[in-house]
Structure 1
C-alpha cells in the first residue's frame, strides 16, 4: 500500500476481466499477444495490447459504441503498468452497468446521471489535496504527491479527456489512465474508490517500481496491524470498496 504505487501485478486478462463467457461474451485472440473481449450486444469491447519493449508495457482499452460496430462513443485507456486491481475494479463496474442496462429500460453506459463529485469526494475524505484552475480543470493529489487525478469540468471539445489519473513521480509517472468525454462517471467513481483502497496487494520486490519503493507500507496477509520496516506510520481508516455509487 498505497495501491497506486504497488506496481502492475499480473497483466492477465483472466484476472482483469470478470466477463461471463458462458453468457455470450466473446474473447478474440489476435496477433502479437493482443486479446479482445466484446459484449453480446457488440456495443461494448475491451482490449489488451502488450508492448513489452515500451515504457508503458502496452495498453488496456475499454470502448463503447451506440450501435454495434459503429463509431466509438467513449473510451478509457490504461497503461499496462497500471495496477491490475484498479483494472479489475473498473471492468467489474463496467459489467455491472452493462447488466443493469440489459435488464432495465436504462442506458447508463451512454446516459449516466452520476454527479462528478461522486468520483472525487472519496479522494478528499482520504486527505487528497484539491486545486482548481481557471482553465476548467481541478487536480487532486495524494498526501505523498505520488498519485493524482485531474478532472476537466469545462469541456471545450468532445476529444478532450474528462479525467486523467496517474501513479508515481508526477513528471515521470509509472502508469497513467485516461477517461474520454462521455465515459460514465460511475466507472470513474469505481476507479477512484479502488485507487484509495487500503486492502493490501500481493507483490514481489521485482514488481514494485524502484523510484517509489520507499513510500510503500507493508502489511502481512493475516494481521490487520500494518508495519513498516522504517518509521511504522499509521494507516488511514479503511475506504469503501469500488462498487455502485448512485
Structure 2
C-alpha cells in the first residue's frame, strides 16, 4: 500500500520539494530576499518587531516587509517604484509573506539588474519596459499549465494539478486592478498571492514565472510544508539524517488527463 511521501517523516526532517508554488514560505529574511548591495549605499532598516525597509540610493525604489503572523498571508512584501523621490508610486508589486522566499529573491534580483542597466545607460526599463507579455506565460504553457481566456479581458493559466495560477488582465478597463495576479494553493483559500500593478515591468513578471516553474527544488522542514496540498508535492531529496527509515523519495505526481484548453 502506497503511503503519502510525508507520512513517515519527522516534522523536523529537512526535505527538498517540488513544485515550488506549494513548498511553503521558507525563511523570511529581508536582507536575503532583497539581495541588494547594501554596502554600496542602499539604506536598510529593521525594527525589533521585524518590519523592514530598503531604498535604492536614488530613492526611486522602495521595498518593505511588514510581518503580521496572526493574519492570513502573515504580512506583506511590497515593492514601490517612483519616477521621482517622494512622488506617488508609478507601479507596485505586493506579495503575501507566505510566498516562497526563493521566488521573492529572484524577482528582486531581476529588479536590481534592471536598476543597474538604467543607471549605467540611457534606458529606462523600470518605467518603459518593452518585454512582451508572452514571455511571462509561454514558459507556463510549455510546462503543462492550462490556458483559459474570458471575454472580460482576462486570461488565466493554471498549474497541472490546479493548485496554483497566474491571471493576466490583457484588457485595461480599470488601472486600479492588477495587471497580473498569481497564487499558490486552492484558489478559494490560497497559501499565498501576488499582485503586479499596471505599469510593472513585464521583465519582472517574467522573472517571477520563471522562478515559479523552476525545477530547482526548495529546501524546507516537513513541518513548514503546507499540509492541505502535500498530496501534490513530491520529495526531490532528503537532507541530513532520515529519522524513520520507511519512507522513500516519491516520484513527481502524474499529470492530470488532458481536457484543459490551451
Contact 2:235 2:250 (C-alpha < 8 Å) held by counterparts: no
Structure 1 231/98 Cα, relative in aligned 2: closer, same or farther at 3 Å? closer
Contact 1:45 1:64 (C-alpha < 8 Å) held by counterparts: yes
Instruction: Tell me which of 90, 97, 109 is aligned to 1:80.
Output: 97
1:217 offset after TM fit, Å?
Answer: 1.1
Name the SS for the 1:37 alignment partner: strand
Q: Determine if the alignment matches structure 1 residue 232 to structure 2 residue 262.
A: no
Q: Structure 2: which 5+ residue stretches go unaligned?
A: 1-17, 240-246, 256-262
Q: Please say which structure displays the higher CA radius of gyration.
A: 2
Instruction: Tell me which of 23, 28, 35 is aligned to 2:52.
Output: 35
Contact 1:77 1:177 (C-alpha < 8 Å) held by counterparts: yes
Structure 1 229/136 Cα, relative in aligned 2: closer, same or farther at 3 Å? farther
Name the SS for the 1:232 alignment partner: coil
More deviation, 136-145/211-220 = 211-220
TM-score calculated relative to the size of structure 2: 0.84
Name the SS for the 1:181 alignment partner: coil
Structure 1 182/153 Cα, relative in aligned 2: closer, same or farther at 3 Å? same
Contact 2:80 2:93 (C-alpha < 8 Å) held by counterparts: yes
Name the SS for the 1:118 alignment partner: helix
Q: Output aligned runs, 1:127-206, within 5 Å.
A: 127-206=144-223
Structure 1 234/157 Cα, relative in aligned 2: closer, same or farther at 3 Å? closer
Counterpart CA distance in 1 for 2:180 and 2:23 is 21
Name the SS for the 2:78 alignment partner: strand
Counterpart CA distance in 2 for 1:231 and 1:34 is 38
Number of matched residues?
231
Contact 1:200 1:221 (C-alpha < 8 Å) held by counterparts: no
Counterpart CA distance in 2 for 1:203 and 1:18 is 20
Counterpart CA distance in 2 for 1:48 and 1:97 is 21
1:231 offset after TM fit, Å?
Answer: 6.3
Counterpart CA distance in 2 for 1:233 and 1:220 is 12
1:32 offset after TM fit, Å?
Answer: 3.4
Structure 1 231/96 Cα, relative in aligned 2: closer, same or farther at 3 Å? closer
Q: Structure 1: which 5+ residue stretches go unaligned?
A: 223-227, 237-246
Q: Determine if the alignment matches structure 1 residue 51 to structure 2 residue 47.
A: no
TM-score calculated relative to the size of structure 1: 0.90
Structure 1 99/235 Cα, relative in aligned 2: closer, same or farther at 3 Å? farther
1:221 offset after TM fit, Å?
Answer: 6.6
Task: Show the counterpart of 1:119.
Answer: 136
Counterpart CA distance in 2 for 1:161 and 1:234 is 32
